[in-house]
Chain A
Amino acid sequence: MAIRRHSRFKLRDLFDECLAGLFARPARTLLTALGTVLGIASLVATLGISRTAGNQIVDRFNELSATQVTVRARSNGSSGGTNRTGAALPWKVEDRLDRLNGVVASGAIADVPNAGGIRTVPVDDPSAPRERVLPVFAASPGLLDAVRGGISSGRWFDSGHVAREDHVVVLGSDAAAQLGIDRLRNLPSVFIGDVQFTVIGIIDAAPRDPGLLAGIIMTSSVASSRFGVSRPERVVIETDLGAASLIATQAATALNPNAPESLSVAAPADPARAREGVANDVNQLFLLLGLVSLVVGAIGIANVTLVTVMERTGEIGLRRALGASRVHIAVQFLAESMAMGVIGGIVGASVGILVVVAVAASRQWTPVLDVWLPLAAPFVGAAVGLIAGLYPSLRAARLEPVEALRTGT
């Protein structure tokens, strides 16, 4: 007589009941999903922004650092590490380096120590020269291009100035401002110590060596003859993109074939590794923030689902009376919380993408987002909803029908 049958809850019916449950209180559903929306949105936005920013950082890194090689003379450890083997580097680096395939420009530079105070002789008041203490550099003609410098007024010195040992200088824009020199039409002069120099140019950009903007730059020949700076301290090489590593291996030999080991060459880090490192650092931080937001969202869903279970006690009792098993009740509430998570995931991913695009647009960056991120967001939302709905669903399933019908009237 006893034919054991189990009640069945069709998937389509589950879907319909789930939708009906969600749309029974649409405002509450939306507010509940808001937690997941914020969590997913912050996750997508932070990952997207970090990826975009990381890419931007790496792009800039590529642009400047990845095309720069710097060569220095190694310190002589026998004299306490401060005595430089200046003989290792020549001034005429352009002749030796520019012929290497991949070198865009090269130049040598050295500080001119103890050059003395800097005085100007303003045209409007010759009797009141100003004296400043400013850094003085000696440079080879190729340095301007090697540091990607830009001339705002006048010109840079050339090999003729070097050969003739002309007393000419180029001012950095900050130094020029301090000395009150803003135009070159009257051939202003500066006195370095007691030596007079004619200012032939002002530079306003030196991305590879911004310190030049604060100083006065003279030719290597004058620095050698007047201030005893016989050798450069470092050589700056601008390379083609991707050629830096190769040039780094060749530069020391080109500059000092007899003792290349006396030179140290600083080449940029591998760009791919740098990109990965930057992205990882940023991602870890923001991923943590996104996950925290997601946990907060999950707690919100759990909380509201639990309240919903309490409010729908009568409905649970009715469904049990109509033949729903405990599993049916649990599955229905789980499906509803999962659906809220999915809604949160979809809306959150959309909001996150908008944030990434907006931030990138405001910074004039190129937005970069892993394609899997928005695609995975609904699944992440569903998982959040599933986890958040576990306890409330089990609690709903555990309700005794008699008790549920009595308390839920």
Chain B
Amino acid sequence: MTEVELVGQFGDDAVAVPAPPVVELRNLWRVFPSEPPVAALRNIDLAVRAGDYLAVVGASGSGKSTLLNILGLLDRQTDGAYLLDGLDTSSLSDSERATERSRRLGFVFQSFHLLSHRSVEENVMLAELYRGEPRSGRLERAVDALTTVGLRHRIGFLPTRLSGGERQRVAIARALVGRPSLLLCDEPTGNLDSSNTASVLELFGDLHDQGLTIVIITHDSNVAGRAGRKVQMTDGELREVG
């Protein structure tokens, strides 16, 4: 997914310049207007480059989920800048943010968020619904994504007939089918047993090896330990820890 911009293309001395970070947060604040106001994020600076595997750890209420919501364009910062693939998101309208979500982001939630009355492949295809792409090939892409997560044999099944680990894999396939720039995971193993947790983490490792940029929110040190990079959230402040 790494993009390289070429400058000085004439002659032999063209120089490769790295593309901007996938995620760049500058002095970012998120203050909830309660009485008294609550600063969930305080002056956050963060850059996530293509291919990074970043774990955000912290106690409950430290601001992890708020950070993920802003990274996922589901919430707006109160102050500061958020650049996604170099695009300043603060100027985007609500509808444009929805578009960017469908094109650039993939989500994996703790509670899977699968539609119980739709088949496995229909759940995966749901991710392409709002992208405006042609309908043709949609099923093939869903099957490819399910193959990637090792669930090709579950095509036609309803989610209710799958184990927790399989459901989370379906959710991951749904996140992957749009080929996102960034995969955002919110406590993806929170509802899984240790066996399924290991299996899902192994999958994330494989995806990272293939170049996918991953940001994972967790309070599980085991999960965070698999990430190549770790940041700690404490009372809305972010600190690089490894």
Do B98 and A10 touch across chains, with their CB atoms under 8 A apart?
no
Q: In the complex, A178→B88 CA distance in Å?
A: 105
Asked whether A7 lies within 8 Å of B113 as measured between CB atoms, the reply is no
Q: Tell me how far the C-beta of B161 lies from the nearest C-beta in chain A, rounded to whole angstroms.
A: 16
Take A2-B91, A7-B102, A315-B115 as given contacts and tell me if A321 and B72 are in contact as well, using a CB distance cutoff of 8 Å: yes
B99 cross-chain contacts in A, Cβ below 8 A: 5-7, 323, 325
Beta-carbon contact of B135 and A402 below 8 Å:
no
A30 at interface, CB cutoff 8 A: no
Most chain B C-beta atoms within 10 Å of own C-beta, residue among A317, A405, A408: A405
If the complex has contacts A314-B113, A321-B101, A405-B113, are A7 and B86 also in contact, measured as CB distance less than 8 A? no
Q: Who on chain A is nearest to B123 by CB?
A: A318
Selected interface stretch from A12-20, A191-199, A226-234, A281-289? A12-20
Find out whether the CB atom of B87 lies under 8 angstroms from the CB atom of A325: no
A1 to B95 alpha-carbon distance, docked (Å): 18
Q: Are B117 and A7 in contact (CB under 8 A)?
A: no
Given A317-B113, A322-B101, do A6 and B129 touch, yes or no (CB 8 Å)? Answer: no
CA A146 – CA B95 in complex, angstroms? 82
* Contact flags A1-38 to B (C-beta < 8 A → 1, else 0): 11011111110110001001001110000000000000
Q: Which of A310-345 contact B (CB under 8 A)?
A: 314-315, 317-328
A10 neighbours in B (Cβ, 8 Å): 132, 135
Residues of B within 8 A of A320 (CB): 74, 98, 101
Is A300 part of the contact surface with B, judged by Cβ < 8 Å? no
Q: Is the CB of B87 within 8 A of A323?
A: no
Interface size class of B (residues with CB under 8 A): 20 to 34
Pairwise interchain contact A2-B130, C-beta atoms closer than 8 A? no
CA distance A328 to B130 in the complex (A): 9
Closest residue of chain A to B186 (Cβ to Cβ) is A405
Cβ contacts under 8 Å, B109 to chain A: 405, 409
A405 to chain B, nearest CB (A): 7
A8 proximity list for chain B (CB < 8 A): 130-132
Determine the chain A residues whose CB is within 8 A of the CB of B234 once the complex forms.
none
Interchain CB contact under 8 A, A9 and B130: yes
Interface size of A as a range? 35 or more
* B95 x A325 contact (CB < 8 A): yes
Q: Which residue of B lies closest to A318 (CB)?
A: B113
Q: Is B69 an interface residue (CB 8 A)?
A: yes
Q: Do residues B131 and A7 form an inter-chain contact, with CB atoms below 8 A?
A: yes
Task: Determine whether B2 belongs to the interface, using a CB cutoff of 8 Å to chain A.
Answer: no
- Minimum CB–CB distance for A400 against chain B, Å: 8
| B59–chain A nearest beta-carbon distance, Å | 18
Chain A residues, Cβ within 8 Å of B110: 409
Residue with the greatest number of chain B CB neighbours at <10 A, chosen from A1, A4, A323: A323
Given the interface contacts A322-B126, A323-B130, A328-B130, does A13 sit within 8 Å of B135 by beta carbon? Answer: yes
In the assembled complex, B200 has its CB within 8 A of some CB on chain A? no
Give the residues in chain B near A328, CB-CB below 8 Å.
98, 130
Give CA–CA (A389, B233) in the complex, Å. Answer: 43
Cβ-defined contact, B87 with A321, below 8 A: no
Given contacts A2-B88, A323-B102, A402-B69, contact A9 B95 (CB under 8 A): no
Interface string of B97-129 (1 = CB under 8 A from A): 011011100010111010101100010001101
A401 at the interface (CB under 8 A from B): yes
Tell me whether B95 and A322 are in contact (CB under 8 A): no
User: Which residues of chain B are within 8 angstroms of A319 by Cβ–Cβ distance?
Assistant: 126, 129-130
Please tell me if B140 contacts chain A, counting CB pairs below 8 Å: no
B206 on the A face (CB < 8 A)? no
Are A7 and B95 within 8 A (Cβ)? yes
Alpha-carbon gap, A70 to B91, bound state (A): 88
Closest to A323 in B: B102
The verdict on A402 contacting B75 (CB below 8 Å), with A9-B129, A17-B129, A318-B113 known, is: yes
B94 at the interface (CB under 8 A from A): yes
Chain A residue numbers with a CB within 8 Å of B101 are 320-323
CA–CA, A402 and B32, complex, Å: 13
Q: Which residue of B lies closest to A312 (CB)?
A: B115
Which residues does chain B contribute within 8 Å of A322, judged by CB atoms? Answer: 101-102, 107, 126-127, 129-130, 174
Please, how many angstroms separate the alpha-carbon atoms of A106 and B103 in the complex? 92
- Whether B111 and A409, one on each chain, are in contact in the complex, defined by CB atoms closer than 8 angstroms, is yes
Closest chain A CB from B139 CB (angstroms): 13
* Across-interface contacts of B209 in A (CB, < 8 A): none
Q: Please measure, in the bound complex, the distance between the C-alpha atom of A238 and the C-alpha atom of B148, giving whole angstroms.
A: 93
State the CA gap A13–B88 with chains docked (Å). 30
Among A241-286, those with CB < 8 Å from B are: none
Q: How far does the Cβ of B27 sit from chain A's closest Cβ, in whole Å?
A: 20
Contact A324/B111 with A2-B87, A10-B135, A20-B118 known, Cβ cut-off 8 Å: no
Judging by beta carbons under 8 Å apart, are A402 and B132 in contact? no
Confirm or deny: B96 has a beta carbon within 8 angstroms of a beta carbon on chain A. yes
A405 to B122 alpha-carbon distance, docked (Å): 20
| B61 CB → nearest A CB, Å | 14
A374 to B74, CA, bound (A): 46
B123-152 contacts to A, CB under 8 A, are 126-127, 129-132, 135
A381-409 residues with Cβ-Cβ distance < 8 A to B are 400-402, 405, 408-409
Our pick among B88, B92, B107 for the contact of A321 (Cβ within 8 Å) is B107
Min CB gap B133→A, angstroms: 9
CB distance from A137 to the nearest CB of B (A): 80
Whole-angstrom distance between the Cβ of A8 and the nearest chain B Cβ: 3
Would you give 14 A-B contacts (Cβ < 8 Å), ordered by A?
A5-B99, A7-B99, A9-B129, A17-B129, A20-B118, A314-B113, A315-B115, A321-B101, A321-B113, A323-B127, A325-B94, A325-B98, A405-B74, A409-B113
New A-B pairs, 5, CB < 8 Å, besides A321-B107, A324-B129, A405-B74: A6-B99, A7-B99, A20-B122, A324-B98, A327-B95
Chain B positions near chain A (C-beta within 8 angstroms): 69, 72, 74-75, 86-88, 91-92, 94-96, 98-99, 101-103, 107, 109-111, 113, 115, 117-118, 122, 126-127, 129-132, 135, 174
The 4 closest A-B pairs by CB, nearest first: A323-B102, A8-B132, A323-B130, A24-B117
